[in-house]
Amino acid sequence: MNDSGRELIDALIQVSQEKGIDKEIIFEAIEASLVAACKKQLGANANVRVVMDRETGAYTVLVAKNVSETVTDDLTEMTLEAARAINSSLEIGDTAEISVTLANFGRISAQTAKQVVVQKIREAEREIQYNEYIDKQHQIMTGVVQRRDRRNVVVSLGTLEGYMPPSEQIPRESYQFQDRIKVYVLEVKQSSKGPIVNVSRTHPELLRRLFEQEVPEVYDGVVEVKSVAREAGNRSKVAVFTKHPHIDPVGSCVGQSGQRVNMISSELNGERIDVILYSDDPAKYIASALSPSKVVTVAACPIEMMARVVVPDHQLSLAIGKEGQNARLAARLTGWRIDIKSESQAAGTDFLNFPLITPEQAAAAKEIESAYADFYEKEETEEISTADITVNTDSNATTVDTEEPTAKNTPPASTEETITEAAGEAPAVETAEYDDEYYDDAYYEDSEYYDDDEYYDDEYYEDEYYDDEYYDENYQPETPAENVPPAE
């Protein structure tokens, strides 16, 4: 091995160790760069292959040519006689490789080779980074805040930077330079500029991963986190469960004097966290999810996944929560739609009575729901007629068939109306879809449950708001001048 070959091998080993790239990848990059440099001298159409010795660093340039009777391009073709001088077994149509010795590469060829090597090494680095961080997707990482890119927060995660868009930032949380924060890796994807990592501080799974880090029982699988409902920066609910009879899952997550849950809360900018016990019984589970409010009665309909809850009169506002937050989080946690009323509101009504629904009627309801969903998918391209929808609610029920087509933009009958009509013997129960507006203060007009100072202390009730001419007791309207005709 000559000195130049030794220096080349030593340089390759050093680059491999610094970049963390396999030596074979670097050898392949150098071979590709030499191929590009050879084509600069021989021609772009030349079929060139470079073989480099991994021990000595010496390389051989091989040019492949097709064996043909008539040679039209010396760069890609050769005669049968010239081919058999290399290998006597070659025939017309075969490919022969001949070794070519090139002079020293010029400046342009050397620059081309350098660019190819740099590009190949950069691609190898990006692939290594991608493979490293793709395994951390949907996991929690600790990062350092570097800067703000427009409204995004850039967090250093080691060899890569994570981007946290405004939608994934906790409201009212301040991100200062060099702050250490825990983030949830949402997605790792490749791009032309390298891997891109998107992180989040608002994802519910971040709370689950923090419990795994802070609570050994959760990490070992003794205590299982069944469900998480979260409104980032404000309040969260976590349902936990264990099969071990001698372990308290709620106490394990809360810790002594609330130490464990307080550590998680401080990491999330003081977010309040409610830890409740999971139960296979929907009534018990929903009652626990509505804590800290006490629950008198829970009526659940598994087919509709809807629950109706009665709470004490003095705890109605507590069960609903501010702007419906407590009830909303309970619905997200359990996956049930929840309707809440006080004892006085539910008294003397059939609030807790659900229509009698058979499995056959439930299956028919699902058909109607499917038709209802397909209706909106087709209405843009063609008119839909409910005469095409025929549903049998049970063996004794009459087939629903409409002769006259319905007008456009008129969906099929709702699921609840069809089920109630088929049940017959059960009275219709007034229900409401669970959403943010449903638990608005306007829904409960009875003001005795709300503190005047808490709910009505705003700018609209300040004296300054009414301090104008329309509310001035001494205000006198101007008297119009005499002999002035009225305006047309």
Domain extents in the chain = 3-130, 136-202, 224-278, 359-423
Which pLDDT score is estimated for 62? 83
Which pLDDT score is estimated for 425? 39
Which pLDDT score is estimated for 377? 59
Look at domain 3-130 and name its CATH class. alpha beta
Q: Which of 296, 302, 293 is nearest to 327 (CA)?
A: 293
Buried b (16+ CB within 10 A) or exposed e, 217-252: bbeeeebebbbbbbbbbbbbbbbbbbeeeeeebbeb
Q: Where are the beta strands (DSSP E) in 107-234?
A: 140-149, 152-156, 161-164, 180-189, 196-200, 223-231
Angle in degrees, CA 345, 349, 350, rounded to 5 = 125
Which pLDDT score is estimated for 429? 37
Which pLDDT score is estimated for 198? 94
Which pLDDT score is estimated for 454? 42
146-162: pLDDT as tens digits: 999 888 999 999 888 99
Which pLDDT score is estimated for 486? 55
**Superfamily for 136-202?**
Nucleic acid-binding proteins (2.40.50.140)
315, 293 contact by CB (below 8 A): yes
Which pLDDT score is estimated for 286? 94
360-401: pLDDT as tens digits: 767 776 777 677 666 655 654 444 333 333 333 343 333 333
Look at domain 224-278 and name its CATH class. alpha beta
* pLDDT mean by block of 10 residues, the chain; 488 residues: 64 77 80 80 80 77 82 79 78 80 65 76 85 90 91 91 93 91 93 89 94 93 94 93 92 92 92 93 93 91 88 92 92 92 89 76 72 61 38 37 40 42 39 40 41 42 42 47 54
